[in-house]
Every structure is written in C-alpha cells, then in structure tokens.
Structure 1
Amino acid sequence: MKNKKVQFQDWGLMDYQEAWDKQEETFTKVVDQKTLNRTKAAEDPTSNYLIFVQHPHVYTLGKSGKPENLLLDEQGLKDKAASYYKINRGGDITYHGPGQIVGYPILDLDNFFTDIHLYLRTLEEAVILTLAHYGITAGRYAGFTGVWLDADNERARKICAMGVRCSRWVTMHGFAFNVNADLDYFKNIVPCGIDDKDVTSMERELGYKPDIEEVKEVLKTKIADLFQMELLD
C-alpha cells in the first residue's frame, strides 16, 4: 500500500553535522522499516519526511567532486567562519548558508514513483513554479541538474543546486535554493564543478529581500502538489 502522507519538519538554523546526523538517523529508520516489511506477511506503510533547514556557512563536497574545487585552505575557512565536509550525496561542491532553503526529502519512492530522473525533475519543477510565483522565469540547463535562469544564453546562472542519495528507493540529501543567501561565499568554490557560470538568488533577481518564511510556504505547497503528498505538520 502506498503511503503519500509526509511529515513536514522545519529544523530552523542548524549546524551541518547535527543536521546530517539527524538526516542519517531518519533515513536509516525508513530503510530499516522497509527491510522489516519484507520479512512480514502484512506490510506497514513506510514513513516519508520533508525537511527544511538553514545551515551556518558550510561547503560540502559530493562523492564525485574534486577537492580542488574548494578554493580556500584551512585558514581561509576559519577567516570565513565556514566549515567543510565530504559527504555521501551525488554531485560536486556546493555552499550552504543562512538565507538559503536546504531541502532534505526523505521519501520512500515506492510510495510515489521509482524513477530517480523523474524525482530530480519534479523537485526542480517545484522550485521553478515557486520562482514563477514571484515573477521570476527559470528552467533547466541541458546536461546539468538544478534550476537555472537564462539557461539558453551566456547569462546562465544557477539559483538552486541539487544532489541526492538513494538506497532501496529511499532518498536523502536534496536541494539548496538561494533565497537571500550571501552570494560572495560562492566565490570561494567552483560551484558544482562549473567554472564558467554564475550563481544567483531571489534577492538579486528581485532587487529586494524576500521573506524566506513565505517562500518556504510556497515551495512546500508546490512540492506537495507535484508529488501528490498529504503533508502533515
């Protein structure tokens, strides 16, 4: 039986390591639940979670990333009050910080659809629709994940990065959506390993600082609609 009920959690501003540990704990719980179900005649539906969080300044490097794409040494990280982690998601290096909505959907895709490509495209679509709500036209860039503006010309710039992990069709990690983040921090890396494209935010595009709590509500609704979730707060 498919369970489309999803527990929504907003963790606020949380240290990256603490959030990673909590995410791993939740992910493991869902995977273990699936494993247990296979040993039982009657299955209990697996749980799903949609987590929003903001992190203090941090750089994370995915499994396929190149360490040289971090342009700071240890002292440079201290000067920027930033931390650095190598993690188990896909993708290269990215930045997280205040003013950015980081989304961690921990979903059993057996409850929705077992297609990672479609999963990523659906998350992208939720961000694209959220931006459209604010009058910002965004889309996809062929060959790259994430959400982009002006992807068809030399002004291409990324506003949302993505990197996920999936095991037994249970997802973790997710997306980082720049609402009013300090974009100067992206100058210290080669974002997502792409050295010739800019990074932007809603604040830069709109010319004013949007209310991040309002943006969260819009984004949460778009995700729920596209996945046909029943969100539980």
Structure 2
Amino acid sequence: MAAGKTTVRVVNLGRVSYGRALEIQRQCVRRHLEASSRFPNTLLLCEHRPVYTTGIRQQPYPPEEELRLKLLGADFFRTDRGGLITFHGPGQLVCYPVLSLACFKKSVRWYVGELEQTVIGLCSMFGLDASTSPDTGVWVGDSKICAIGIHCGRYITSHGLALNCNTDLSWFEKIVPCGIVGKGVTSLSQELGRDVTVAEATPYLLQAFSERFQCHVVSEDTAVQMPINTGG
C-alpha cells in the first residue's frame, strides 16, 4: 500500500444508459493515461436501464440470442471486462472504480479480492453473511448477490461491480448469469425480506470501500467539479 491515504472522488451518475456510462469511464481512463494529467481516482456510481452485457471470456453471442434479449426490452453490449454474460438494470447499485493501482497495490488479483471483500463488508452491515467462492463475485449461500467484472490496462481499472438491491431478478431468468449453471441470483431485498433501495445501500458501499482500500472517499452530488463530460 502506498504511503498515506489516497483520495477517491465519487460521482453519482444516477440512472443512465450503459453506453453513456461506458463513454464516461473511457474519458476517465484516458485522463489517467495522459502523462500530464492529474486526474483523480474516481468511483462512478449509477443504475442502468435494462441491459445485458458480455465479457472477453464470452464466445461470440449468437445473433438470434442477442435479438431475443433485445426483444425483452433490454440493450445488449459486448465489453472488454472479464467474465461472461450478466444483467444490469434498475434497482442495482453499479460501481465503476477508475483507479490507478499505483496508488494502492499493483496487483489485479489483489484488486478483485478487495472489491469482493468490500461487498462482503457491506453485506455484514446489513446483517448478511456473504462470502466468496471459486467463481468471482459475492454470494449468499449458492446465490450471487454481486457480480464483479473488471478491465485493467497499465494498472488503470475500469468496469467494476453490480450489487442487487431491489432488482427485478426475473431478468436473470432469461440467461445463464455469468455462465454458472445450477446457482441462483439474489438481492439485498430478497435476503432481508424488505425493500432495500440503491439510495439506502450507497453510503454503506462507500464506507466499506473506504475501509477496505484505506482511502478518503469524497462524495459529490454532481460532476460539475470533475474534468469529465457527463452531459447527454
């Protein structure tokens, strides 16, 4: 761990299309990679409109299957993150950390493990016993509550995690989530027997992240002070 605590800024994008959030992530990554830029480590928080995404481990998704999913009312994207197909949508807290691991630890394996432990810490704040498994992500029993899929180039991270808060889980029934057969998907609301919104879960995520990554988290209501374009 680098000496001292790193400051990580939080930008809440609200409910946004996957394509728009992807564009903003790419802007942030480019700023990090510019030698003259001192772009801050950033957490982009959002909810997505219904979308299915695939990762780099996915074989080319059959066009007829892509069409079937789109006819359900969802978008479809092929991405450069790790992992296989998953769903993002309303009621899901999505966090895209765009970080320079040089400020933390230059290890992708360490980073993924810390994201998992962050969510496990959040779940414990809600009284839930969550854990890891040989499959990436965070689980409550045999059901995944949080998917994790990242990209890292030159130790700059993008993509991230998606925590089911009060997500409509029926969207997952249309696919084999993350390519894992025989296991389920769950949410904070389902496990706790009450409605847990993204707004309720967000401060717990930020607290758990700051504790796990030993950083100062600075929340901003808007991106006005951030050198990125969140319009559109």
Range class of TM-score, shorter chain: 0.7 to 0.9
Runs of 4+, deviation exceeding 6 Å: none
Q: Distance in 2 between matches of 1:121 and 1:68?
A: 28
2:211 and 2:168 map into 1 onto residues whose CA distance is: 30
Say whether the 8 Å CA contact 1:54–1:98 is kept in structure 2: yes
Map of 1:64 onto structure 2: 57
CA distance in 2, matches of 1:161, 1:121: 13
SS in 1 for 2:172: helix
**CA-atom RMSD, angstroms?**
1.9
> Aligned equivalents of 2:203 and 2:69: distance in 1?
36
Match of 2:89 in 1: 97
Counterparts in 2 of 1:71 and 1:218: CA distance versus 1, 3 Å: farther
**Counterpart mapping for 1:169-188 below 5 A:** 169-188=155-174
Q: Identify the residue that residue 215 of structure 2 maps to in structure 1.
A: 229
**Cα deviations across residues 124-160 of structure 1 (Å, max 9, x unaligned)?**
111111111111110011x21100112xxxxx11010
In structure 1, the partner of 2:13 is 11
Tell me how far apart the structure 1 counterparts of residues 68 and 135 of structure 2 sit (CA, whole Å).
Answer: 32
Contact 2:31 2:39 in 1 (8 A): no
Residue aligned with 1:30, SS? helix
Question: 1:188-207, aligned counterparts within 5 Å?
Answer: 188-207=174-193
Normalising by structure 1, what TM-score?
0.87
1:169-202 per-position Cα deviation (integer Å, ceiling 9, x unaligned): 1100001110110000001111101121101111
**1:72 and 1:188 in contact (8 A); partners too:** no
Q: How many aligned residue pairs are there?
A: 217
Q: Which residue of 1 aligns with 2:130?
A: 138
- The AA in structure 2 aligned to 1:50 is L
- Within 5 Å, give how 1:49-88 maps onto structure 2: 49-68=42-61, 72-78=65-71, 80-88=72-80
- Aligned match of 2:229: none
Q: TM-score, normalised by structure 2?
A: 0.88
Match of 2:25 in 1: 23
Unaligned runs of 5+ in 2: 220-232
CA distance 1:69–1:207, change in 2 (3 Å): farther
Q: Is the 8 A contact 1:61 1:67 kept in 2?
A: no
Alpha-carbon distance between aligned partners in 1 of 2:67 and 2:52, rounded to the nearest angstrom: 12
What is the distance in 1 between the residues matched to 2:213 and 2:116?
12
Call closer, same or farther: CA 1:51–1:200 in 2, change over 3 Å: same
How much has 1:211 moved relative to structure 2? 3.2
Structure 1 portions without partners, runs of 5+? 38-43, 151-155
What fraction of aligned residue pairs are identical, expressed as a percent? 34
Cα deviation per residue 1:200-225 (whole Å; 9 max; x = unaligned)? 11111111111321210011111011
Q: Which has the larger radius of gyration?
A: 1
1:72 shift after superposition: 4.2
Kept in 1, the 8 Å contact 2:66–2:76? The answer is no
Q: Which residue of 1 aligns with 2:118?
A: 126
Contact 1:71 1:188 in 2 (8 A): no
User: Shift of residue 19 of structure 1?
Assistant: 0.8
Q: Structure 1 residue 74: deviation in Å?
A: 1.6
Cα deviation code 1:17-40 (max 9, x no counterpart): 1111111111111112xxx26xxx
The 3 A distance-change label for structure 1 pair 126 and 70 is farther
Contact 1:51/1:104 (8 A) holds in 2 = yes
